[in-house]
Amino acid sequence: MNKNSKVLALKYRPQTFNDLIGQQVVADTIINSVKANKVPNAYLFTGIRGIGKTTIARIVAKSLNCLNGIENLCENDLCENCDAIANSSHIDVLEMDAASKTGVDDVRDLIEFSRYGPTSSKYKIFIIDEVHMLSKQAFNALLKTLEEPPEYLKFIFATTEIKKIPITVVSRCQRFDLSRIKSMELFEFIKKIKDKENGKASDEALKLIVKISEGSVRDALSLLDRALLSIDNEKELDLNAAQKIFGYFDKSQLIELFKLILKGDQNKVIEKYRKIYDQGVEPKIFINDFLEILYYFKNISALTLESTNFTLNDEEFNNIKEISNDINSEVLILFWQFTIQTLNELDIVSNQHLSIEMFLLRLIHLGDIKPLNKDTNNEIIENNQDSASHKILSKDTIDQIKNVSQEKKIKPQTKIDTKVINEISINSFKDLLDVCYSKKEIKLKYDLENNVNLVKFENGRIEISFNDNLDKNFVKDLSTKLLEWTNQRWIISFSKSKGEISIKDKEKNKKKELIEKAKKSDLYKNMLNYFSDAELIDIKNIKKDD
Quick: pLDDT tens for 421-442: 457 888 888 888 888 888 888 8
| CA separation, residue 260 to residues 266, 296, 401 (Å) | 8, 17, 11
Report whether pLDDT(144) > 80. Answer: yes
Give the pLDDT score at 306: 60
Sheet with 461-466, strands from edge to edge, namely 380-381, 491-494, 461-466, 452-458
Of 472 and 153, more confident: 153
Give the pLDDT score at 544: 53
The 8-class DSSP code of residue 94 comes to: E
Alpha carbon distance, N-terminus to C-terminus of the chain:
94
Report whether pLDDT(504) > 50. Answer: yes
Which region among 3-17, 115-129, 188-202, 366-380 has the lowest average model confidence (pLDDT)? 366-380
pLDDT grade for 165, boundaries at 50, 70 and 90: very high
| HEC letters along 162-188 | HHHCCHHHHCCCEEEECCCCCHHHHHH
Taking the CB of residue 108, how many other CB atoms lie within 10 A of it? 14
Average pLDDT of span 247-254: 74
Which region among 153-162, 207-216, 377-386, 413-422 has the lowest average model confidence (pLDDT)? 377-386
Average pLDDT of span 510-538: 78
Taking the CB of residue 22, how many other CB atoms lie within 10 A of it? 18
List the helix and strand counts (H, then E) for the chain.
Answer: 24, 9
Percent of the chain at pLDDT exceeding 90: 16
Give the pLDDT score at 76: 78
399: left (phi over 0), alpha (psi -120 to 50) or beta: beta
Structural domains in the chain plus CATH codes: 8-177 (3.40.50.300), 183-246 (1.10.8.60), 251-368 (1.20.272.10)
316 in Cβ contact with 259 (< 8 Å): no
Taking the CB of residue 423, how many other CB atoms lie within 10 A of it? 12
CB under 8 A, 24+ apart: contacts of 377-381: 379/493, 379/494, 380/491, 380/492, 380/493, 381/475, 381/476, 381/479, 381/492
Of 311 and 374, more confident: 311
Distance CA(63)–CA(66), nearest Å, equals 6
Give the pLDDT score at 379: 39
Give the pLDDT score at 543: 56
**Average pLDDT score over the chain:** 80
pLDDT one-digit tens code per residue, 77-96 = 888 888 888 888 888 998 88
pLDDT grade for 404, boundaries at 50, 70 and 90: very low
pLDDT one-digit tens code per residue, 451-476 = 888 888 888 888 888 887 888 788 88
Q: Considering just the CA atoms, what is the radius of gyration of the chain in Å? A: 36
154 in Cβ contact with 124 (< 8 Å): yes
Cross-strand bridge partners of residue 43: 156, 174
Report whether pLDDT(492) > 50. Answer: yes
pLDDT grade for 40, boundaries at 50, 70 and 90: very high
Report whether pLDDT(186) > 70. Answer: yes
Give the pLDDT score at 380: 38
Average pLDDT of span 212-231: 88
Percent of the chain at pLDDT exceeding 70: 85
Give the pLDDT score at 330: 81
Residue 443 — φ and ψ, nearest 5°? -65, -45
CB under 8 A, 24+ apart: contacts of 344-350: 346/283, 346/284, 346/287
162 in Cβ contact with 132 (< 8 Å): yes
Report whether pLDDT(376) > 60. Answer: no
